[in-house]
A and B are shown apart, each in its own frame.
Chain A
C-alpha cells in the first residue's frame, strides 16, 4: 500500500509582516506599527493526491497556490497543520523528501548567466547526484522537447524570457523526480511550445505510473485538458476538489448562455435584477462585451434578451454553452480567474454597475 503522494491536513500558513525599524528620533506616529499585521496565505487546507495523479491547483493571484507548493517542497514551514510528501512529513523529514521532488516556477530567473543552457542544466543535475553522462543524455532529450536544442550552447544571459522558461522547465525533469511541482509552467510561452509541453507532461506521466505531478495554472483549458483532479483555491481556502467533469456537473444545473454585445451597451449591468438570472459575468474588450449568464431555467433567456434590447443593447451573437472549469470557478469564487476587466455578480447586482 503506497502512501499518498501528497497529503495535507488543516495546513495553515500565516505571514507576519515585519514592523519598520523605528529610531528614537523618529517623529512619525507609532500607532500604525503597533497593530498586528498578519496575512493568512493558507487556511486549514486539507488535500490528498494519490501516486500517479496529475493534480491541478486553480486559483487567482494571491490565492495561496505558491505558498502551498513552497511548503510541499520544504522551502517554507507551515504555521500549523501537517503536510506530507511521499508519506514523509515536510518539517521532520525535509532532507529525505528532497531527492524525490523537484519544482519549476513560471517566470523564475534561476541559473548563471555566464554559463550556457547545457552547463546550467548539468549543474542542477549534479546537485542531485545525477551522473554527468545521464545528465547530458536527458538534457538533449528535454531540450528537443521544448525546441531549445539550437540554444544549448548559448549563454542564458542571451536568452529571451520564454527560452529561459523552457530551460527551467527542462531543469525540473532532469532529476527524474518522483513528485514534480509545476507552478505556472507555461506562463509566457508561445502556443506551440505550450502545446508541446502539455503533450510531454502526459507522456512523462505515462512512462512511469508512480510519478505524480502537481500543477498550478492560470489557464483553465490547460487544467481541464491535463488534470485528473483539480482543487479550486481562493484566499487560502480550498473551495472544491474533484475531477474536472464532476466539478462541471455542479454548475450544469444552471443553463449557461454566452452573449456578445456591441461596445457601449450598458443594460447588462442591471441583469442581476431580473428574476431567474442566477449569475452573470461580463468581460469588456475594446470591440465587444462578452456576457455569460447562468439561468435558473431556460425560459428566462427571453427576458434577458428583452432586457438587453430595451436598455439599448445591441446583441451580436447568442449561444448556449457547456460549462467549463472557468464557470465552476466563477460559481465558487464569484469572479473570473484571469479577467481584471471583468465584472460579475451573483443574483444581486453591484450598485451603479461595473
Chain B
C-alpha cells in the first residue's frame, strides 16, 4: 500500500470514532448546544437592553459557534494524544506503520465534522431565537474565511498535540491558563475594534481572532482590524506554518518521547 493511501486510510479510520460519538452520545445536544445558547442569550439581552444594533447579537452568536471549534482544538486535538497515551492507544498508533500525522489528521477531520454540527445547531438556534440579520457581502468569501479559520485552528491543534506528548500535564495547565485570555483576546462577545489598535494587532496572532473578525466583516458588514483580504492571507499562512511546524514537532518529539520512555504510560 502506498504511503499516501495508508495515510488516508489511517486518517479516515481515526475519524470514525469521533463521528460515531456524534450519533451515539446523547448528551452533546444539551451540553454543547443548549448551554452555549443560554450564554448567548445573556449577552443578546444585554445588547438589546443597551439598544445596540442587531448585528451585535449576531456577533455573539458567531462567537459562541466559533468557540466550540476553539474548545475542540484545545481539548479534542491538543489534549487528545495525552488521552490516547493514558488509554494505551498511543503506543498502538506509534507502533503501526501509519504516520502519527495521519492519526492527527483523522482527529482533526472527526473533530471538525462533529463540531460543525454543534456549531451549526448553535448558529441556527441563535439566529432564530434572536432574529439575527444575515446579509453577507459574499457567501463565497464567508465560506473561504470559515475554511481558512478551521485550517489554521486545527493546524494549531496539531502543534499543541505534539507538545502535549512531551509535556503531558504541564501542557494541560498552560492550555487551561490560556483559555480565558484567548476568549478575551479573540473578541468572542464584542467587536475587536473596541480594543486599542496595538492590542488588536497582537491579538490577531490567534487564528480564532482573525477568522472571527473576517467573518464578522463579511456577515455583518462591520469594520474590522484589517481588510478581509489581509486577514484571509494571514490565516492561510498560519495554517501552513502550523501544519509544517506540527509535522516537524511531531517527528522531533516522538523521537524524544521514545528516548525518554514517554510514549508508554507504564513508565510515567
A is bound by B = yes
Q: Are A115 and B261 in contact, with the CB atoms below 8 A?
A: no
Q: Are A124 and B92 in contact, with the CB atoms below 8 A?
A: yes
Contact with B along A244-262 (1 / 0, CB 8 A): 0000000000000000000
- B241 CB–A CB distance under 8 Å: no
Q: Are A102 and B95 in contact, with the CB atoms below 8 A?
A: yes
- A165 CB–B CB distance under 8 Å: no
- CB-defined contacts of A74 to chain B, threshold 8 Å: 94-95, 258
Q: How far is the CA of A259 from the CA of B6 in the complex (A)?
A: 60
- B77 CB–A CB distance under 8 Å: no
How many whole Å from B111's CB to the nearest CB in chain A? Answer: 14
Name which residue of chain B comes closest to A100, CB basis. B97
Q: Are A127 and B24 in contact, with the CB atoms below 8 A?
A: no
Q: How far is the CA of A128 from the CA of B267 in the complex (A)?
A: 26
Name which residue of chain A comes closest to B15, CB basis. A123
Contact with B along A64-106 (1 / 0, CB 8 A): 0010001001111100000000000000000100110111010
- A119 CB–B CB distance under 8 Å: yes
The one of B6, B20, B88 in contact with A129, judged by C-beta atoms closer than 8 angstroms, is: B6
Q: Are A123 and B98 in contact, with the CB atoms below 8 A?
A: no
Size of interface on A: residues with Cβ below 8 Å to B = 31
- A110 CB–B CB distance under 8 Å: yes
Q: How far is the CA of A98 from the CA of B254 in the complex (A)?
A: 15
Q: How far is the CA of A111 from the CA of B94 in the complex (A)?
A: 14
Q: How far is the CA of A103 from the CA of B258 in the complex (A)?
A: 17
- B9 CB–A CB distance under 8 Å: yes
Given A109-B88, A114-B21, A127:B263 Cβ within 8 A: no
- CB-defined contacts of B12 to chain A, threshold 8 Å: 126
Q: How far is the CA of A258 from the CA of B220 in the complex (A)?
A: 89
Given A75-B264, A77-B258, A128-B98, A114:B25 Cβ within 8 A: yes
Q: Can you name 6 extra interface pairs (CB under 8 A) apart from A109-B87, A127-B93, A127-B98? A: A15-B267, A73-B95, A98-B95, A110-B92, A126-B12, A127-B14
User: What are some 14 contacts across the A-B interface (CB < 8 A)?
Assistant: A70-B261, A70-B264, A73-B95, A75-B263, A76-B258, A77-B255, A105-B88, A110-B89, A112-B89, A114-B21, A123-B16, A124-B92, A127-B14, A129-B6
Q: Which 9 A-B pairs have the closest CB atoms?
A: A126-B13, A110-B88, A129-B1, A99-B97, A127-B98, A112-B17, A98-B97, A127-B10, A127-B96
| Residues of B that sit less than 8 Å from A by CB | 1, 5-6, 9-10, 12-14, 16-17, 20-21, 24-25, 87-89, 91-98, 102-103, 255, 258-259, 261, 263-264, 266-267
